[in-house]
Amino acid sequence: MSITLKSEADVRSVGVPRRRRRRHDLAALLYVAPAIMFVLVFFLLPLGMTVWMSLHNWPLIGRPRWIGFANYNALWRDHGFWNALAFTGRYTVAATIGLLAVGLALALFVEKPRPLVGLYRTVFFLPVVIGFASASLLWAWLSSVDAGLFSPLAEQLGLTNGRINLLATFDPAFWSVTVMVIWKMAGFYMIILMSGLQAIPADYHEAARIDGANFWQRFRFITLPLIRRPLALASILCVSGSMLAFDQFYIILAGGPQNQTITAVYWIFNQSFVSFRLGYGSALSVVLLGILMVLSALQLRLFGDREPPR
């Protein structure tokens, strides 16, 4: 990112007489003021409030009461939250591995310019632009046992004896949602990884081919190391997105079967907006936020970005 780079305007304004520059300074603040206002009121203020509220017993109606770290103490013993977090972690691992694998396979598949390849890329990308809610509703229908597609189709093809209710037990329900997410988001990771693949000079592969390296060796020793940055980006986006999963589990499974698919955000949603324990919900949010930051930092470490910062 080039935030610290001075733009050309900064450099050139040095020669401008002092009075004129002053006037410009004020005008510039007016230009950026609306954006700053939005960020202050709807981001910085609520962020501070989350921390503040987490130290209170904060009902929806009535006076909030300062209780120090009691919410955080209660959180330690909240099995529901830790179960939700464990489930979210399990889902994140499955979704991230699935998405990066399928995304990379698609990227390798359509990376080279050929006739019609643009059309294929567009089609693979289409599910990305429809919303998570639409995709989830669509999948809820496709997975339903009576009116859906998957079970009746499996029955008609003779794969299963009778119809199986995919959403009634944990494993098929979990995999149904994971497959939906891979279908919906693989195209996104394809584009990110493809831009990395296309940046690899063709000579590298040519040279390795001449030296007798097979496809797997070229992939392992040329492609993978050279797309480390896009891969790190894809992995961070994927992990933080999956750790915040809500729509698909709320819409398709409503947390079922037997409340086994409640994610962390879903648990916070229930605490805050179903039970209206706003202070406790805030404490959970702070913890989730901390976990997300640690995960992102770990991944940056893992992918070992040794290039000097620009």
Partner 1 sequence: MTLANEIILPSRAGWRPRFGLHRVLFHVAAVLVALLFLAPIAVVVLASFRPSSEAGLPPLPPWPTGGFSLDSYARLEAFGAGILHHAGNSLFVALGTAAITVVVSLLAGYGFSRFHFPLKGTLFVLILATMMIPFQSILTPLFLILARLGLQNTLTGLILIYVTLQLPFSVFMMRNAFDTVPKEIEEAARLDGATGLRLLAHIMSPIVFPGMVSVGLFAFLNAWNEFLAALVLLTDQDKFTLPVLMTAVRSGHYGSVDWGAVQAGVTVMMIPCLLLFLLLQRYYIRGLTAGSVK
Residues in 55-94 that interact with partner 1 by CB under 8 A: none
The answer to whether residue 246 forms part of the interface with partner 1 (CB under 8 A) is yes
Distance CA 95, CA 104 (A): 14
Of these, 17, 19, 27, 212, which contacts partner 1 (CB under 8 A)? 27
Q: Which stretch binds partner 1 (CB under 8 A): 71-79, 85-93, 210-218, 279-287?
A: 279-287
Contact between 187 and 127 under an 8 Å Cβ cutoff? The reply is yes
Contacts of residue 201, Cβ cutoff 8 Å, sequence gap at least 6: none
What's the Cα-to-Cα distance from 141 to each of 79, 124, 148, rounded to whole Å?
32, 22, 5
For partner 1, what does the binding mask look like between residues 135 and 174, x meaning CB under 8 A? --xxxxxx-x-xxxx--xx--x------------------
The answer to whether residue 275 forms part of the interface with partner 1 (CB under 8 A) is no
Distance CA 272, CA 281 (A): 5
The answer to whether residue 24 forms part of the interface with partner 1 (CB under 8 A) is yes
The answer to whether residue 191 forms part of the interface with partner 1 (CB under 8 A) is yes
Supply the minimum distance, in Å, between the C-beta of residue 148 and partner 1: 6
Contact between 265 and 246 under an 8 Å Cβ cutoff? The reply is yes
| Virtual torsion, Cα 236, 242, 244, 245, nearest 10 deg | 160
CA-nearest of 64, 304, 100, 289 to 196 is: 100
Q: Which stretch binds partner 1 (CB under 8 A): 79-87, 93-101, 218-226, 232-240?
A: 232-240
The answer to whether residue 300 forms part of the interface with partner 1 (CB under 8 A) is no
The answer to whether residue 298 forms part of the interface with partner 1 (CB under 8 A) is no
Q: Which stretch binds partner 1 (CB under 8 A): 1-9, 81-89, 90-98, 211-219?
A: 1-9
